[in-house]
Amino acid sequence: MTFPCMSSILYIQGGGKVRVNVRRVRRERGLTQEELARKVGVSRQTIVNVEQGRYKPSILLALKIARVLDTDVETLFKLEEVDWR
């Protein structure tokens, strides 16, 4: 018996959906969640939540992640047409 994880039940942060490509780019760069978290100065759990789209990072954190992954923010976070309301 397995329940879904608690943070997906307690998803409260508002706003539309954003397609998150952080995990794909991170894996392409050969970084682990722990390493990325250490480089941007957050907890690994925050990276887990950002990758799973459960937490939308601030502009500052998004820029830091983009810089560490050597890419731009638009590559990591994409606003879908359907979310443009």
The answer to whether residues 22 and 76 touch, using CB atoms and an 8 Å cutoff, is yes
Residue 51 interacts with another protein (CB under 8 A): yes or no: yes
Instruction: Assess 59 for contact with another protein (CB under 8 A).
Output: no
Unique residue bearing structure tokens 């995990």: 23
Kindly tell me which residue out of 18, 42, 63, 73 binds another protein, with binding defined by CB under 8 A: 42
Residues 78 and 18 sit within 8 Å (Cβ to Cβ): yes
| Amino acid at residue number 20 | V
- Compute the distance between CA of residue 31 and CA of residue 22 in angstroms, rounded to an integer: 11
Report which of 81, 76, 83 is spatially closest to residue 61, judged by C-alpha positions.
76
Residue 30, interface with another protein (CB under 8 A)?
Answer: no
Residue 5 within binding range of another protein, rule CB under 8 A: yes
Give the range of 14-22, 37-45, 68-76, 77-85 binding another protein by CB under 8 A: 37-45
Contacts with another protein by CB under 8 A lie at: 1-7, 10, 12-13, 32-33, 41-43, 45-46, 48-49, 51, 55, 57-58, 60-61
